[in-house]
Structure 1
Amino acid sequence: MPARVPVVLLSGGLGSGKTTLLNHLLERGVGRIGVVVNDFGDVAVAAFLVQGQVDATATISGGCLCCLSDPSELDDILASLAAPALDLDVIVVEASGLAEPRELARMILSSGVRAIRFGGVVEVLDAAAWAQADPQGPLPVATDHLQVASVLVVNKIDRLEGHPEATRRLDEAIARHAPHTPVVRTTFGRIDPSLLFDAAERETPTGQLSFADLLRETAGEHGDAHGHGHAHGHGHGHDAHHGHAHESCTSVSVDSPLGTSPRQLVDVLENRSPGVYRVKGRTWFDAPGHRVQYVVQAVGGWLAFERRPWPAGTTRGTQIVAVGTDMDDAAVEATLRSCLTDEPVPADHLHAVIRLTR
């Protein structure tokens, strides 16, 4: 059975930097990315701003995705982009600045397209808007947008320099409305792609220079599109010109032949440690009829298991990876390992997993 393609919703206010973040993901040349661009007007202006190496794209114009009179239009697009022939690693839906992320997330979660799965809501916050906002006025973002986000990207973070009151107000809003949501603070939409999706290993044709490689080579010689002359770091590295690692993320892995306690595993996944954005992997439960492979995917407030047979020649075991920002890696690993067990699982403990299994 092919893996389901994650659908990541990219949300944020007008001018917050959604397209800049998307362009950054494309320019990095990591994985195969499909893009759905939504413009509120009849002309898909944003589609022309998306640069880089797009492996598949679709545009919906004339209204917000969350207001579509026929939601099957989005399903049809997602089904076409998730086709095995395209071999995509992720589908990014860039919503219009007027869209409601909660409604869009509901549409993706309720989609009848079996080849996709929910990949989370990335809410882009415009730090410049916070710097310019009236301290006594309303917040520059709807609190529901903070609450539904799987990860918060505070973009244009440099614009908060010299604005301690605005910084305090932003931090307090996040602490109040999204206390457990991972936060990435960055400029120019730089975010580590591995935080959002996994890129499959593929053979690269010898001697070919991809468009993404060309962009990076050009940026190295002449400076990037913003004229700052820096190269984007990756993984745990940092930008030598800026001296910070806003885009970096870390991962914690657990690999064991043991199975897990379903009740404890679900509890850990539903109450993830601070900074953990997503958890992925597979496990098994020592109970009759449940020693098959359970593939687990968790992101934001969404969690699901999928039953699959163990591939031929595979040794039964548990392999789980947690990905996030500013995690306490040792604590996260200890929490995941606490779910391992060599004890038979009581039948009534399986209910927690069965209700989440697709």
Structure 2
Amino acid sequence: MKKNYNNKKPVVLITGYLGSGKTTLLNNLLRQEKRRVALIVNDMGSINVDAEILKKNGSNVTECPMFELQNGCICCTLREEFIKQIEKISNLDTVDVVFVEASGISDPGAVSASFLAYEEDNPDTNVYLTSVVTVVDADRIYREFLDDLKKKADKEATDENNLTAEEISTLIVDQIEFCNFIVLNKCDLLDEKQLAEVEAIIRDFQPRAPIFHSVNGNIDIDQITTTEPFNYEQIDSSSAIQKAINSLNEPNRATQGCTGEYGISSFVFEEKRPFNRERFMNFVNNNYPKELIRAKGYIWFSDADANVQLFEQAGRNSSVMTVAYWIDALEEKQKQEYLEYNPDVKEAWDDDFGDRVNQLVIIGKGYNKDKITAALKSCLDEKAIA
């Protein structure tokens, strides 16, 4: 019997490797979305930086419920918590559509399998999965992973059992394979020939999903949203989906998590004192560890103590931009009013620096945490330390 999806809330899952542009895409979608939205934002770090970015920049975020899941992935260690939040949202009359931003190392097959199991166990639920959108960093695929993916395509044609899950490129393949829409982002960084090469290798793994080119995550929301339920049967059962469904019964998956499977781990660098701008930029531009895959967070410089700076690094690309003001930089009356209505900020207030803090989530593979921490501390402003 055909299921009735009338009056149910469609769920859009946004996935993609670290730094591909998922949060930027989601911000752009929120600006276009006219329906009442609920958000689930997952970040593998112990600080949910993606959620903070959305709060500061997303035009509709203040008007919709947001559920933040951090320090793990919704495909494994946070699977149960993810389903709990989905169930909570399903009962909200104030929500019409749900957007889920997975962490950069989440396996969309596992997330979707969890959702499928939930739908089957709860046939009367008011939510259903419609879109699995994979955001692909065109520039990074071309510069860093193209050779590995070509080798995988050749192996897959002969013996796909030879593929090793420990390689990061396997994760990228899983994300490309298991979706019904692909957003090929950062297309402005490649020429037409290079883009064609990237698109060709994507088609080796994903022959069906439409590919939409974008710059800064700018696409029409109608291109990747639908009212049709996600069609699991159209996805090859040989690789991503079968592995995902099998993983539901693997006891080690929930405890081991993505960091164990792919060798990726993270830590948080936190320091109240400001960075010296010149030292920090020299570290980023000239001495940045190659083992780091992704870093993001809010920082401040001693020469601009009123400004919140957002630092982001993904592969060979990095940026620093001013995104807001520190509360302590406001006029006294505004500051006190803000603190009165936001007691959580007041609890973390520092006598010398107020709410200013350098707080970076750092993600990588095979890095030396102590060495990186020491390097970052050497970038602090000595005058502010004295």
Instruction: Give the TM-score, by structure 2 length.
Output: 0.48
| DSSP-derived class of the 1:191 partner | coil
| DSSP-derived class of the 2:66 partner | strand
Q: Identical aligned pairs, as a percentage?
A: 28
What residue is the counterpart of 2:126 in the other structure? 115
| DSSP-derived class of the 1:106 partner | helix
Aligned residues, how many?
202
Query: 1:16 offset after TM fit, Å?
Result: 0.5
Amino acid at match of 2:68: T
Q: How does 1:331-346 map to 2 (within 5 A)?
A: none
What residue is the counterpart of 1:182 in the other structure? 210
| Alpha-carbon separation, structure 1, partners of 2:60 and 2:185 | 22
- When residues 192 and 89 of structure 1 are mapped into structure 2, their CA distance, relative to the original with a 3 A threshold, is farther
Q: How does 1:1-358 map to 2 (within 5 A)?
A: 3-50=7-54, 51-54=58-61, 55-68=64-77, 71-86=79-94, 88-111=95-118, 112-113=121-122, 114-133=125-144, 135-138=146-149, 142-161=172-191, 164=193, 166-197=194-225, 297-301=228-232
Amino acid at match of 1:299: F
Amino acid at match of 2:89: L
Query: 1:119 offset after TM fit, Å?
Result: 1.6
| Alpha-carbon separation, structure 1, partners of 2:48 and 2:145 | 32
In the alignment, structure 2 segments of 5+ residues that lack a partner are 151-168, 235-386
2:129–2:229 contact (8 Å) kept in structure 1: no
In the alignment, structure 1 segments of 5+ residues that lack a partner are 198-277, 281-296, 304-358
Amino acid at match of 1:95: A
| DSSP-derived class of the 1:142 partner | helix
- Pairwise CA RMSD of aligned residues? 2.3
| DSSP-derived class of the 2:75 partner | helix
2:149–2:201 contact (8 Å) kept in structure 1: no
- When residues 179 and 93 of structure 1 are mapped into structure 2, their CA distance, relative to the original with a 3 A threshold, is same
| DSSP-derived class of the 2:24 partner | helix
1:131–1:159 contact (8 Å) kept in structure 2: no
- When residues 176 and 136 of structure 1 are mapped into structure 2, their CA distance, relative to the original with a 3 A threshold, is closer
| Alpha-carbon separation, structure 2, partners of 1:195 and 1:167 | 20
- When residues 73 and 298 of structure 1 are mapped into structure 2, their CA distance, relative to the original with a 3 A threshold, is closer
| DSSP-derived class of the 2:207 partner | coil
| DSSP-derived class of the 2:93 partner | helix
| Alpha-carbon separation, structure 2, partners of 1:45 and 1:187 | 22
Write out per-residue CA displacement over residues 18-40 of structure 1, whole angstroms, 9 at most, x where no aligned residue.
00000001122422221101011
| Alpha-carbon separation, structure 2, partners of 1:129 and 1:44 | 23
Write out per-residue CA displacement over residues 61-111 of structure 1, whole angstroms, 9 at most, x where no aligned residue.
111111126x3322221122222422x222111011111111011111111
**RCO comparison, higher one (Cα < 8 Å, 6+):** 2
| Alpha-carbon separation, structure 2, partners of 1:29 and 1:102 | 26
Write out per-residue CA displacement over residues 213-257 of structure 1, whole angstroms, 9 at most, x where no aligned residue.
xxxxxxxxxxxxxxxxxxxxxxxxxxxxxxxxxxxxxxxxxxxxx
Amino acid at match of 1:38: N
Amino acid at match of 2:211: V
Amino acid at match of 2:177: Q
1:151–1:182 contact (8 Å) kept in structure 2: yes
| DSSP-derived class of the 2:177 partner | helix
2:146–2:198 contact (8 Å) kept in structure 1: no
Query: 1:138 offset after TM fit, Å?
Result: 3.9
Write out per-residue CA displacement over residues 191-228 of structure 1, whole angstroms, 9 at most, x where no aligned residue.
2222344xxxxxxxxxxxxxxxxxxxxxxxxxxxxxxx
Which 4+ stretches in 1 moved above 6 angstroms?
Answer: none
Amino acid at match of 1:99: S
